[in-house]
Amino acid sequence: MSATSRIRWKWIIVGGLLAEATVMAVFFLLLFAAMAAGVPEIAQPRTPLDYIDAMVMSFLSMLVFTIWVGKRLDSAFVLHGVLIGAFGILLFSVVWVATTGSFAQPALYVVAHGLKVVGGIAGGLIAEKRHRRALAGA
């Protein structure tokens, strides 16, 4: 069986979509919280809070959703994590181009994209370790 036939594309799409939606949802929650606190300017796009949210949540959401997808896998955990992160980058880039008309993104968003892949790799490693532990206990 080839490596591509083992890839669970449906779960990559679902995991990447949910992870990226989580990143955006947390940003909007921060924006609404800042508005309620009377300081909406601190949570606008391309502000320090936005950049911090983008980097932290990009890593964490890909980590969590790769672990979640990993429960449905038998192999290629890290590959799936990388692909989930890459799909998240693609989704954000499509939204970015659609809303700004430009491919150019701020440098810290590019860092956040790298953290999506790192989060996917870390999630894949954790999922693989859990899978091995479950097999050893069975």
Is residue 77 within 8 A of residue 127, CB to CB? The reply is yes
The predicted structure's pLDDT at residue 138: 65
Sequential DSSP letters for 19-42: HHHHHHHHHHHHHHHHHHTT-GGG
Give 35-55 pLDDT, tens digit per residue: 999 998 887 888 999 999 999
Q: Rounded distance, CA 34 to CA 38, Å?
A: 6
Query: In this structure, what are the phi and psi dihedrals at residue 105, rounded to the nearest 5 degrees?
Result: -125, 155
Global pTM reads 0.91
Listed by start position, the domains of the chain span: 7-137
